[in-house]
Amino acid sequence: MPASAPHPRTNPRPAPLAGRRIRAAVIGTGAIARGSHLPALARLAEEGETEVVAAVDIDAAAVEEFCAQNGVPHAYTDLERMLREQRPDLVTICTPPTLHREQTVAALRAGAWVWCEKPPVPTLADFDAVEAEEGLDGGPYASIVFQHRFGSGAGHVRRLIAEQAMGRPLVAHCQTTWYRDSVYYAVPWRGRWQTEGGGPAMGHGIHQMDLLLELLGPWSEVRAMAGRLVHDVETEDVSTALVRFASGALATVVNSVLSPDEVSRIRIDCERATVELTHLYGYGNADWRITPASDVPEELAAKWRDFGPDVPSSHLAQLRELVASMRAGERPRSSGADGRTSLELITAIYKSAFTDTTVRAGEIGPGDPYYTALHGGAPGWAPAAAGASLAGAAESEEVSA
């Protein structure tokens, strides 16, 4: 059955995990697999939690080298064959975004849990198709790599805000201002809707926006602008947005690959304190700062500033929690509705920017052109063929209605 076809959720029940290691397979053997996924899996292997039983890549030489260098016993170029023969409990997906839906669905149908690199899939339609393949009770589930949620700093600040210890959150700033030059975009698949999925709002700023949502909760509406100011690409190279949260808090969001002084930053002004996080690709407790209002007693401010043991944001921190969820048979964080919220905000940013309208949470669904393509067929943004295809689909929908 092709991955795009409806499926009756007949996933095999996840194998019992008590008393044994979780069997993991790595799909894609490039830089993110070598630099982030494999080290996290190896650390948990040292602790008796996991074992990497296989790796898959379309490049036979690359996967053979990956397995030889890292002690992985089985190398494959065929994902379906690996799933049949090795029956992994967990599949980590480290391939380009356009492959994520097909590979995630294949793994779920084989009964494996999935840990997929961001962005999870290119569109909300793809995300909903993946979620429809998950198990109904106890898994398997598909989780997204959103490692910035899982550092001790984020956990501490999330609790303070949820308890309103510093008062209500009022104003926030979310900044992913990075720099990518022409050499970066000389790689043919970059800057194209079909192969990269989107520009910096999708591929770069997604981590900080996801962390902002983790801290502030649901968003309610967004108004955005986007530009193609420097690079000769299909997607944007900069965007800005104004976001209103369900709590009433207001935020500005900037995503850029035009910024020589690179920084990732979140600032939240609450009634009684300002919380700031400044880093680049990952943080520890020392990267957070809490500035209390002048009337806050020092002993109370000291409690707010006590972040506890330092757990840096990392793939390892998230994988630890995912493994615990697998053993408990519970849906992990950054999966299902919890994982979808960031992709929905990103989709709304594109729709708002390209249509010059305010977009509200929940309004982008089947029948909306932005549900199936982040460019939405917008003139000046969509590839010509894609724009014509979407226009034809809209006309057909009107006729059938």
Q: Between 20 and 7, where is the model more confident?
A: 20
Whole-angstrom CA distances from 248 to 172, 217, 321, 348 are 11, 11, 31, 18
Question: Could you give the CA distance from residue 89 to residue 33 in angstroms, rounded to a whole number?
Answer: 18
Residue 4: how many CA atoms within 13 Å on its side-chain side? 2
pLDDT of 243 higher than 90: yes
- Identify the band that residue 375 occupies on the pLDDT scale cut at 50, 70 and 90: very high
**According to the model, what pLDDT value does residue 389 have?**
55
* pLDDT above 70 coverage of the chain, percent: 92
Q: What is the chain's mean pLDDT, rounded?
A: 93
Which DSSP string corresponds to 160-186? HHHTTTT--EEEEEEEEEEE--HHHHT
**According to the model, what pLDDT value does residue 136 have?**
87
- Identify the band that residue 13 occupies on the pLDDT scale cut at 50, 70 and 90: low
Phi and psi dihedrals of 142, rounded to 5?
-110, 120
CA triplet 381, 385, 391: central angle to 5 degrees?
80
**According to the model, what pLDDT value does residue 137 have?**
86
Q: Look up tokens 């650390």; give the residue.
A: 43
Question: Could you give the CA distance from residue 327 to residue 22 in angstroms, rounded to a whole number?
Answer: 9
- Which positions ≥6 away from 351 have C-beta within 8 Å? 357, 359, 364, 368, 370, 376
- How do residues 111-120 score in pLDDT, each as one tens digit? 999 999 999 9
Report yes or no: 222 and 358 within 8 Å, Cβ to Cβ. Answer: yes
**According to the model, what pLDDT value does residue 8 have?**
52
pLDDT of 6 higher than 80: no
Closest CA to 345 of 213, 176, 204: 213
Residue 78: how many CA atoms within 13 Å on its side-chain side? 6
Give mean pLDDT, residues 127-151: 96
- Identify the band that residue 78 occupies on the pLDDT scale cut at 50, 70 and 90: very high
pLDDT of 2 higher than 90: no
pLDDT of 396 higher than 50: no
**According to the model, what pLDDT value does residue 398 have?**
37
Give mean pLDDT, residues 40-50: 98
Which DSSP string corresponds to 316-382? HHHHHHHHHHHHHT-PPTTBHHHHHHHHHHHHHHHHHHHHTS-EETT---TTSHHHH-TTTT-TTTS
Q: Find out whether the peptide bond into 200 is cis, omega within 30 degrees of 0.
A: no
- How do residues 188-199 score in pLDDT, each as one tens digit? 889 999 988 899
Q: Which of 1-15, 191-205, 229-243 has the highest mean pLDDT?
A: 229-243
Report yes or no: 214 and 275 within 8 Å, Cβ to Cβ. Answer: no
- Identify the band that residue 401 occupies on the pLDDT scale cut at 50, 70 and 90: very low
* Gyration radius of the chain's alpha carbons: 21
